[in-house]
Homo-oligomer: A and B are copies of this chain.
Amino acid sequence: MLKVVIEVDERQKNLLKEIVESYIKEVKPIGSKHLCDKIHCSSATIRNEMAVLEHLGYIEKNHISSGRVPSEAGYRYYVENLMEPKELSGEDMLKLQTLFSNKNLTVSDAIEKCLEIISDITNYTSISLGEYSDENVLRQINIIPLDETKLVALVCTDKGIVKNKQFSIPPDINMMEVVKISEIVNKMLVGTPLSVVAERLEFDIKPIISKQVEQYEAVYGIFYDAFHDFISNNENIHVVGKSKMLNQPEYSDTAEIKRLISKLEDESEVRKIVKHDNRDISIYIGSESNFDDNVTVVKTNYSLGGEEGTIAIIGPKRMEYDRVVAVLNILNKWLEGVGD
C-alpha cells in the first residue's frame, strides 16, 4: 500500500482556525457559506477544502448534509498550531492582582480564592488538588488540654501549615503526663521532615514513652494518630464553580447536566481530573481528559507555601482555549515569583 502524507496548506490551516473559532463562538455546525468572507473564496471552494480537512480527521459532520464541527483532533491541531496567544483584559488582570497582593492568606485559602477568581474570569469550573511538599519540616507539636479527658493535638510545619485534632483519652491516663510527653516529642522531632516523622516516632519516641508512662500504648496512640492524621490527610481538594457548567449551551439536556454535576460532586471522580503531570500548561481534550469525553481540562502545577499540586480548569471542548491559557500563564508567572 502506498502511504501518502498529506500536508495541510496555509489556506486549510486558516480554514480550520476559522471553523474552530467560529464554532467556539456560535456553538452550531459551521457551513461553507459562512466562511466565504473570511477565506475570500466561494463556498464551493471551501466545501472542497472542508472535504480534505474532514478526510484528515480534523472536522466532522453530524449528518450527511450538515455543517462541520471540529473533532478532538481538530481542537488539538488548533491548540498546538493555530491558536494565538491572548492578553487578559485589564479588568481580569486586576482581579488576579488583588489576590496576589494579599500576603496574609493561608495556602489553602489562597488557592481557593484563586479558583474563585479563575472561575469568575473564565466562566468554567476550576479545581485544585494539593498536598504538602517534602520541604515541610515539623515546626511544633502542641497538646492543649481541654478538660480531664479531652485534649486538642496541634501540628504545625515550618511552612505554616497547621492541623488540629481532638482526642478523648481514657480516664486512667493523667493529662499532665500527656502534656509532659508532648514536650519531649516536640523537642525531639522539631526539624524533622514530615516524610520521616512516622518512622522516628516509632523507633525513637516510642521507647522513651514506654519508659516514662505506664499506659504508654494509649499515650503513644495519641501522637501516632495526630501525626498519622496529618500525614495521611494531606490532600486538599477544592472544586469551585460547578454550576458554571450549566451556562454552556452544549450541556442543555438534563441527563447530560446530571451526569456532569454529579461527577463533579464525587471526589473520587474529581481526583481523576487533577493528576500531577510535569508539563507546564497541559491541555486534555475530550477523551484525553480521563474524566469525561465531553469536556476539556487544562492543567498547571503549582508550588506555594509548602504545598504543591495542580490547578485545573474544566469546560466544554469548545473552550475558549486562548483565554484559559492566558489566565494560567499569568498565574504561573505569579507562582514562580512567589515560590520558594
B-binding residues in A (CB < 8 A): 103-106, 139-140, 142, 144, 146-147, 150, 152, 154, 156, 158-160, 162, 164-168, 225, 241-243, 246-247, 252-254, 257-258, 261-262, 264-265
Contact = CB atoms under 8 A, between A and B. Distances in A.
A223 to B, nearest CB: 14
Q: Count the copies.
A: 2
Nearest to A247: B258
B254 A166 contact: no
B158 A146 contact: yes
Contacts of A257: 246, 254, 257
Contacts of A152: 156, 160, 162
A140 B279 CA distance: 45
B150 A144 contact: no
Between A105, A154, A167, the greatest number of chain B beta carbons within 10 A of the residue's beta carbon is seen for A154
Contacts of A160: 146, 150, 152, 166
A269 to B, nearest CB: 12
Contacts of A144: 139-140, 156
Contact of A243 (B103, B253, B265): B265
A261 B242 CA distance: 9
Q: Which are the 7 A-B pairs with shortest beta-carbon distances?
A: A162-B164, A246-B258, A243-B261, A243-B262, A160-B166, A243-B265, A103-B168
A159 B146 CA distance: 7
Contact of A254 (B147, B159, B167, B246): B246
A165 B162 CA distance: 9
B253 A265 contact: no
> Which of A142, A150, A162, A168 neighbours the largest number of chain B CB atoms within 10 Å of its CB?
A162
A304 to B, nearest CB: 12
Contacts of A142: 142, 154
A161 to B, nearest CB: 9
Contact of A164 (B106, B225, B242): B106
Contact of A265 (B104, B105, B164, B242): B242
Contact of A154 (B146, B162, B241): B162
30 contacts: A104-B165, A104-B166, A104-B167, A104-B168, A104-B225, A106-B166, A139-B144, A139-B146, A140-B144, A142-B142, A142-B154, A144-B156, A147-B158, A152-B156, A152-B162, A154-B154, A156-B164, A160-B166, A162-B164, A242-B242, A242-B261, A243-B261, A243-B262, A243-B265, A246-B254, A246-B261, A246-B262, A252-B254, A253-B254, A254-B257
Nearest to A306: B146
